[in-house]
Amino acid sequence: MILLKNVFLDNQACDILIEQNKIAQIAEHINAPNAQVIDATGKAILPSFCNTHTHLAMMFLRGIGEDKNLFDWLQQDIFPREAKLKPEHIYALSRYGLLEMIKTGTTCFTDMYFYADETLKAVQDMGMRAIIPYLGMDFFDDNKTDEQIRQARTYLESPPSSPRIQKVLSCHSVYTCSEKLIRAFVALAKEYDTYLQVHVAETQKEVDDCLQKFGCRPVELLYRWGAMGPKTLFAHAVHLDDNDMRRVKETGTTLAHCPTSNLKLGSGQMPLQKYLDAGLKVTLGTDGVSSNNSLSMMSEMKLAALSAKNQADSVTAGKVDDIFALATRNGFNAFGLPAGQIKEGALADFILVDRNNVFLLPDNNRLSNMIYAADSSCITDVFCDGKAVMRNKVIPNEAEIIADFKHTCADLLK
Ligand SMILES: [Zn+2]
């Protein structure tokens, strides 16, 4: 049991009792003689962030292949370097990515990368929460298709090592995956009652190529292949037409918005407010650091808000409360997790911020300050599943994680 004493929730100080992995009680004064007491005077509590699209172990590619469009960047800079990756690199790269996530207030994320078992190990060791897929990407090579279907089943068959981890599936995209692979993954996801993630309609070129090859747009194609539903997450979804939006709504599919990556790679701007007004489920993600170039959900919120206003040509687009929900509860809820809000019964995933931080004063509107004014320097403590993963800005083993990362980069980029 943990008792947070004198912490600000909204506009008043209170006590918050954490029992096991949940917020058990919120009251003006709580007596809990057996609890570990944390004096939170001068701090405010907020939900932690859920990053719903990233490629965690791409940390070694930060700053490589700048100022190119998605397809040139992937073919010329990313795929050739990723070809050198071995399972033993992934653990060090993932731990370093998690370090950045913790420092920027994220406790939960969903990934899409190779050698998922190594990422799982890093998540387990650092106390984080994650939704980790087996990634299918066969490049239309039949030999790879069958092998990846077999590996995906093996991956799902063994249970995750922690209740904080969900094992799911991912097909990279309709331009890197065959129909056979996608249909098989859809069937596996149904069989194991798990989630499926796909990059969808990220660029106009992807839509045009799909129209030429299949005679329909990517969303409609995935709909025909049975890939949409309440347990499907489409990353990006920048270029949807009205029919696509109808499919998303009727199937309850979730869209992960990645505004920084979309603007940086020249992919376009999601019409966020139009999607929200239509009642679509939208979450927020950073994408990999190779196209962001950070994992900070705070930066992502600011850009999501500004991009929404710019795209809609309306100051009322991208409202503070909506943007904060995208980065917190919408993300957790998309994966069936009762978190992203500070209330009794919710999972104890939260951050503490310094109320005297230079970016948080005056405290007229804390969420607005978090989105538009502050950076992660205001975050002092991060809790995931009822346990501290950062206390007073200290993360266990930080120096060792950084040294291990540098060593791995030197090996990969030599
Ligand atoms: Zn991506």
Give the domain CATH number at 77: 3.20.20.140
Beta bridge partners of 12: 9
Q: Could you tell me if 278 and 373 lie in one domain?
A: no
Q: How far is the CA of 235 from the centre of ligand 1 (A)?
A: 7
Q: Could you tell me if 17 and 152 lie in one domain?
A: no
Q: How far is the CA of 300 from the centre of ligand 1 (A)?
A: 15
Q: How far is the CA of 316 from the centre of ligand 1 (A)?
A: 29
Q: What is the pLDDT of residue 106?
A: 98
Q: How far is the CA of 367 from the centre of ligand 1 (A)?
A: 27
Residue bearing tokens 């060791």 = 125
Total structural domains within the chain? 2
Q: What is the CATH number of the domain that holds 38?
A: 2.30.40.10
At residue 401, the 3 state secondary structure works out as helix
* CA pair distance 220, 260, nearest whole angstrom: 26
Is residue 341 in a domain? Answer: no
Question: 347 and 22 in contact (C-beta within 8 Å)?
Answer: yes
Q: What is the pLDDT of residue 414?
A: 79
Q: Could you tell me if 30 and 85 lie in one domain?
A: no
Please state whether beta strands 196-200 and 387-390 pair in parallel, antiparallel, or not at all (unpaired): unpaired
Q: What is the pLDDT of residue 69?
A: 86
Give me the domain span that covers residue 30.
Answer: 2-48+347-394
Please state whether beta strands 106-110 and 129-136 pair in parallel, antiparallel, or not at all (unpaired): parallel
Q: Could you tell me if 39 and 104 lie in one domain?
A: no
Nearest to 259 by CA among 178, 318, 325: 318
Q: How far is the CA of 199 from the centre of ligand 1 (A)?
A: 6
Q: What is the pLDDT of residue 74?
A: 87
Query: pLDDT for 239-293, tens place per residue?
Result: 999 999 999 999 999 999 999 999 999 999 999 999 999 999 999 999 999 899 9
Q: What is the pLDDT of residue 225?
A: 98
Mean pLDDT value across residues 123-150: 97
Q: What is the pLDDT of residue 79?
A: 87
Is residue 403 in a domain? Answer: no
Q: How far is the CA of 178 from the centre of ligand 1 (A)?
A: 18
Burial 250-261 (b: 16+ CB within 10 A, else e): ebebbbbbbbbb
Q: Could you tell me if 387 and 326 lie in one domain?
A: no
Q: List Cβ neighbours of 282 (8 Å cut-off, separation of 6 or more).
A: 254, 255, 256, 257, 272, 275, 276, 326, 330
Q: How far is the CA of 206 from the centre of ligand 1 (A)?
A: 14
Question: 334 and 103 in contact (C-beta within 8 Å)?
Answer: no
Mean pLDDT value across residues 200-210: 97
Checking if the pLDDT of 70 tops 90, the result is no
Beta bridge partners of 197: 170, 233
Please state whether beta strands 106-110 and 49-51 pair in parallel, antiparallel, or not at all (unpaired): parallel
Is residue 386 in a domain? Answer: yes
Checking if the pLDDT of 128 tops 90, the result is yes
Checking if the pLDDT of 71 tops 90, the result is no
Q: How far is the CA of 82 from the centre of ligand 1 (A)?
A: 14
Is residue 101 in a domain? Answer: yes
Q: How far is the CA of 289 from the centre of ligand 1 (A)?
A: 10
Q: Could you tell me if 227 and 240 lie in one domain?
A: yes
Residue bearing tokens 């009727």 = 250
Q: How far is the CA of 54 from the centre of ligand 1 (A)?
A: 6
At residue 215, the 3 state secondary structure works out as coil
Q: Could you tell me if 265 and 368 lie in one domain?
A: no
Structure tokens at 10: 């909204």
Is residue 401 in a domain? Answer: no
Checking if the pLDDT of 334 tops 90, the result is yes
Work out whether the CA dihedral 239, 244, 249, 251 comes out positive or negative.
negative
